[in-house]
Structure formats: C-alpha cells, structure tokens
Chain A
Amino acid sequence: MARMSMIEAIRDAIDLSMEADPTVVVFGEDVGYFGGVFRCTSGLQKKYGSHRCFDTPISENGIVGAAVGMAANGLRPCVEIQFADYMYPAYDQIVSEAARLRHRSAGMFTAPLVVRMPTGGGIMGGQTHSQSPEALFAHVAGLKTVIPSTPADAKGLLAAAIADDDPVIFLEPKRLYNGPFDGHHDRPVRPWSKSELGEVPSGPHEIPLGKANVLRAGADVTVLTYGTMVHVALTAVEESGIDAEVIDLRTLVPLDLDTIEESVRKTGRCVIVHEATRTCGFGAELMATVSEECLYSLEAPPIRVTGWDTPYPHSQEWDYFPSPARVAAALKQVLES
C-alpha cells in the first residue's frame, strides 16, 4: 500500500500499463513534456520517450480520431482530453467511430482505446470547466463509461480500462484530484473527500469494469451514486444518522445490475445522486431500472438529487453542486413516504 492522491494513482496506473505493455501510448494537449495541466502524465515522456507519450495540437477531434486509427492498428492509446467540456469536437469520433467499429466491421477492426477526461465542478471553473457529460457516453452502444471516486479505484479501474478490448470513457472527478495542481493551484482547495490521499495498492492493481462497490451496508434505503457525489452521499448519511446502504457504481456501462437490484430489494427505498443535470441524466436510467426490476419491493418512489438543468454557473457553483443537506433531505423524504 502507498498513500497517493488521485492524480498520482492515475499516473501510477498509466505508468505500470506502459511498462507492462509496449503498445500503450499516451497523448493529448500538454501531456508530453509538461505532463498535462493536472500533471497526471508527468514523467512519462521522460521515461518512455516521445513516441509513446507526446503533446498534440489542440484538436480533440484529431486526438480521438488518431487514437481510433492507432487502436485499429494494434496500439492501445490512452488519450487525455484536457477537460470533459472539450470533448464535444471529438464526439463524432467517439460516438460514430470508436463505439461502432467492432460492430460494423464484424470484429475485423476494433478500437481498444481509453479517453481520459477530468469531469465535474467544484473548482470554480464556470460553464466550460465543470460539466458532467457521462450520460452522453452511457447512451452510446459500444462504449464503456467509468468514473472512479477514490485514488485506489482510479488506479484499479484505469488499469482495467487500458487493458480492456473496447473503447472506454474514463471520467476523472477533478474535485477529487486534490493534487498540488487542481487547475487553480494558487487557491486553497477545501477538501471534500475525507482524505486527499488514499491507500492505494502498490504494483499492478486492476478493478474489473462492471462491478459496483458497496461502501456502506444499510437496511433502510439504498443510495446509488458515483464520482464526487459518493463523498457527498457518505457525508449526508453520516450526518443524518440514517441507515443507508451506499453504493458507488464505479462503472455506468456496464452497470452492475445485480448489486443494485439486490440492495434495493433489501431496503425497499432508493435515492439516486449525481452532479450532472437532471433531465435525461444517468439518474433517469437508474430510476427506470429500479422501477422495472424492483417495483414490488419498493416502499416509496425513488428520488433523484442532481445538478439543476442550467448551465454550470461560476460564482454560484455551491448552489448548483448537490450538497449533503440536499441529499439528507431526500433520504428523509424517501423514508417518510
């Protein structure tokens, strides 16, 4: 075990993957010499050379398009989009190309690539450095979508993502990066997760995609959540004293249906928490799944706590970000109904 920030854990996962597999290549804006604006890839160019870790032009479309071509030709690109908000120019390559290549070519060509991107708010990034676009990926057949909530998970899930034979979208909650450079390193960052450093297994470490993590067993209500909101939910449960089962989904696709259904059937109640906007968010999918699969066990309608359906504001961001108070209110409501 070692104590690491999420940034260090991510770097560790990439480093070990590059070491173990010479086909792993890493590129993106500023990721080479400088090691990325969040420093997730620092030191890798020095260690593996500029053919395996390099800077790209500012062209997200180019980054992902090139990754598709390389992946189809036997490499395993693990590319970085500087902020998830900037993946839209790459969206066509992700959705129309990476996601479908295997299917449309009957397996003749595949795209085993990882697109890493910092996601979510909480660092005063305003509307273009704060978005949570996971639903836009989860909706696309052929993609896997992963969001870790701790340094150890980040390491294990990223290693699994790089080794995976399908295209994986790897969303990194930047609120939890907590490194010396969080995008605004001149400003003190209030810790949200309990510890900025986490216990991370040393050496190779993989967490299978598609397995949720029951973080806290409970009898009265199931909380389904992921990413930064895991920590918000845990705080809410702790402060409200409610006996809730808290499940960190870890991967949205593939979704761990068994764990979700088992828990909701046991507790009979469900609160879903995510930071992304509400309408057509991933919460709607969870709600539908729970309603379809667990209807006869439900003792109350499930509730969603989400970001509002507005662009992400700069100075009012703590009113946008779902708070422990909002989650606790939802827990009470679902218990009372």
Chain B
Amino acid sequence: MSDPFLHVPEPGCRPGDAPDFSDVVIPKAGAVPRPAIDVDAEEIRNLAYSIIRVTNKKGEAVGDWAGSVDLDQALIGLRDMLRLRAMDARMVIAQRQGKTSFYMQALGEEAVSCAFQRALEKGDMNFPTYRQQGLLVAADYPIELMMNQVYSNEGDPLQGRQMPVFYSSRDYGYFSISGNLGTQYIQAVGWAMANAIKGERKVASAWIGDGATAESDFHAAMVFASTYKPPVILNIVNNQWAISTYQGIARGNSGTFAARGLGFGIPSLRVDGNDYLAVHAVATWAAERARKGLGPTLIEHVTYRDGPHSTSDDPTAYRPKGEAEKWPLGDPVERLKEYLIKQGHWSEERHTQAVAEIEAEVLETQKKAEATGTLQDGRRPPPSEMFEDVYATPPAHLVRQRQKAGI
C-alpha cells in the first residue's frame, strides 16, 4: 500500500513487535554546551536537534547544565515526583472503583512538570494542558483539594463543574484547563504580553502535547511570540504518543518539534524530560531569558507516556508490549534517586522509607477527601452550582430557568 505520492507515517513497531527505540538518538549527558542567555536562535540551531542531558548512567551530574539545583532542592524534587506518582496511582484505583468518572496520570513524565515548576517564581503563570498536575504538586498546592475535584465532592474548589484533572488555581500559577487542546498556548502568549504591557517582570509558560502541536492555536502562539517577544516559555511535552497516534503523525517524518521554533527565530532546545536536573536547568535558563526581556524560548521535553492516555484508554491495542520499559531515557524517579545516592545525600533504605511515608500520607489525604464525598456517594456540590458563574450577574432568562429547575 505504499505510494511515493502519498505518505502516511507509521511507527516503527506495533503490538506483536518487539519494542524498538533504535531511531531515537540520545547524546551523552553533558555533551550539549550551555549558551549565554542572550544567544541568538540561529547560533543554537543544533540545540533544536540534540537533547540536553545532565544526569548520566552512573548517576553523576555532568556538563555545563549541571548545578542549577543543590542537593536539598534535588531531594525536594524527588519528593514532589513521589507524591505525584502516589497521587496518580491512588486516583487510578479510585476511578476503577467508580469513585470518579475519569483520570489521567503523568506516569513517566513526572520530572517535566515537577522540575519546571521549581524553576518558576510566585506570580508566574502556567497555561497547562491536562497532564501537568505536577506543576500544582511541586507548587505545594494541597493534594486534598485536587482529590476533592477528582471526586467532585463538596470540597471541590470548582464546584463539580469541571472534569477530574482539569484543575484551576490562580494563586498557584495554574491557569484553568480547557478540554479543547491547544487553546491555552496562544493565551499564554497573551498573558505574557500583558505582563510586558503592565510592566510586571513575571513569566508565562505555555504547555502542549506533541500531538496537539498540530492545532492552529499552536501556530498562532508561535507567530505572536516571535512577533512581540514577550516573556513566555513555550513547552512541548513530547511523550511519543497522542492517544493511539504516534508522534510522527504530528511531526511528519522529519525534524523535531523543537525545530518548529527555528523558522520563527525563537531559541529552541530539546531536553531530556526524564532528567530532573536537566529540565530544571533548561527551565531556569529560559525563565532568566524571559525575566531579562530577552523574549520567548521553546523547549521540547523528550519523554515517554508510561501509562494509558487516560482511564478510558487501552494502549496495548496500539503499542508493543513492554515499550515503556525499553524507553532509553529511563525512569525520572529512579534517575534522581541514583544521583542523590551517588552524592551521598540519600540511600536505598531512606528511599524505601520515604516512598512508604509518602504513600501513607497520600492515602491519608485520600481518606480525608473521601470523607468529604465521592462522585459515587452523592455528597456533591448542589445542582444549583451549574447556574452560578455563567455571567457576572445572572441575566433574567437564566434566573427564570433556575426557578423552573426548582434549584
């Protein structure tokens, strides 16, 4: 069925095949130099094709990009990722038990959001898509509130109106999530432009999946970011899969996602998304550029979605068995743990103990959230909530409808 005049890209392997990542070129940790923050996009073209890595196989942090995080901060990062992983695991089970309608986990991608958040400052604003709950966790947002929303219970800060995982928190720098992919990307650019217009030295960071980069909003964001050069960081999380569709469909069989920034004159780089230290270093670099008025940066986070797309998905129908284990960039938690152990700042015993503690703490939090209610048990925000906040002041027709509904 191959016809040189119409090319439908296909992934290298499918269910039944052996997983194969031989086409993913992984440079050595430390190999990519760290440019000055006022560098021109043209001068670092090669960074859009390479991968910035800090932690090597031996658990050492090497190269120019090492050193943005001290050991205590790295430990905080490890705890953030463990908390996120534990919360995701609990919520997936809760969904299976019918306590909520739906869930999406960040398994395997924890370093991306957790490390990035720790490079931001209060007042910066993320425009996340739906797999960045780590941004909230690493901002120390109360996990109980997230669970309350997942359960749509009486403590849900969004009053049962939004689906699970579509969080929103102005105070914690987390813009309200839309189900419509891509829409947030250009909004982040607009937010950053407003920062500039108002004279505020704050940063906006936009988030999008590899698949959703195909949306027009992504391209609109690139055009506006390159034209107005506001303080925005444009993140692309390339976790290889958009539901059943592999990343080659959005990207075409050439180049990288980061390379899309080059045509716009935006400094663009790729980072090992499973390397906490590398993500943190690159985020710090981009944020500094933004804060100094040097304009946008595009970052492609190269990672892998270990779990299903959502609780409604079955990845064994489209990915080879065991592909996750073969992912060449490893597991972000394991890698940061190895680094901390190598530095003499951590040990296997303390890790085992920490995992147990965090899991117990998350379970405790889950119990508290469930005591407030679950989707199943009926202690939900009242139906009247659906009529609130539609407009600043309820117009007459809505008041009438609400009376008619008797709520």
Contact = CB atoms under 8 A, between A and B. Distances in A.
Q: Closest 6 A-B residue pairs measured CB to CB?
A: A128-B179, A57-B214, A34-B244, A315-B160, A315-B152, A126-B163
Given A124-B101, A128-B179, A308-B398, 6 more contacts: A30-B245, A55-B8, A59-B216, A89-B216, A315-B156, A315-B375
Interface centre among A186, A188, A314 (most CB of B within 10 A): A314
B26 interface: no
Contact of A314 (B8, B101, B249, B311): B101
A278 B381 contact: no
Interface-central residue, A51, A55, A183, by most chain B CB under 10 Å: A55
A235 to B, nearest CB: 19
A301 interface: no
Interface of A: 29-30, 32-34, 37, 49-51, 54-62, 85-86, 88-89, 124-129, 181, 183-188, 278-279, 308-311, 313-316, 319-320
Interface stretch (B62-70, B187-195, B277-285, B383-391): B383-391
A54 B246 CA distance: 12
B312 interface: yes
Interface in B363-407: 375, 380-383, 385-387, 390, 397-398, 401-402, 405, 407
A175 to B, nearest CB: 14
Chain A interface, >50% SS class = loop
Nearest to B212: A58
Contacts of A127: 161-163, 179
Contacts of B156: 315
Contact of B242 (A58, A86, A185, A188): A58
A58 B387 CA distance: 32
30 contacts: A34-B244, A37-B244, A50-B10, A51-B3, A51-B8, A55-B8, A58-B214, A58-B242, A59-B214, A61-B215, A62-B214, A85-B179, A89-B180, A124-B102, A124-B375, A126-B162, A126-B166, A126-B179, A127-B179, A129-B163, A184-B101, A184-B312, A278-B401, A308-B405, A309-B397, A310-B398, A311-B386, A313-B161, A316-B380, A319-B386
B312 A186 contact: yes
A124 B178 CA distance: 15
Contacts of B242: 29, 58
Given A33-B318, A124-B101, A313-B161, A58 B1 contact: no
B398 A86 contact: no
Interface string B296-320: 0000000000000001110001100
Contacts of A183: 312
A55 B248 CA distance: 11
Given A34-B317, A51-B6, A56-B249, A61 B180 contact: no
B151 to A, nearest CB: 9
Contacts of A319: 383, 386, 405, 407
A36 to B, nearest CB: 9
B44 interface: no
A32 B246 CA distance: 12
A316 B401 contact: no
Contact of B8 (A50, A58, A316): A50
A186 B161 contact: no
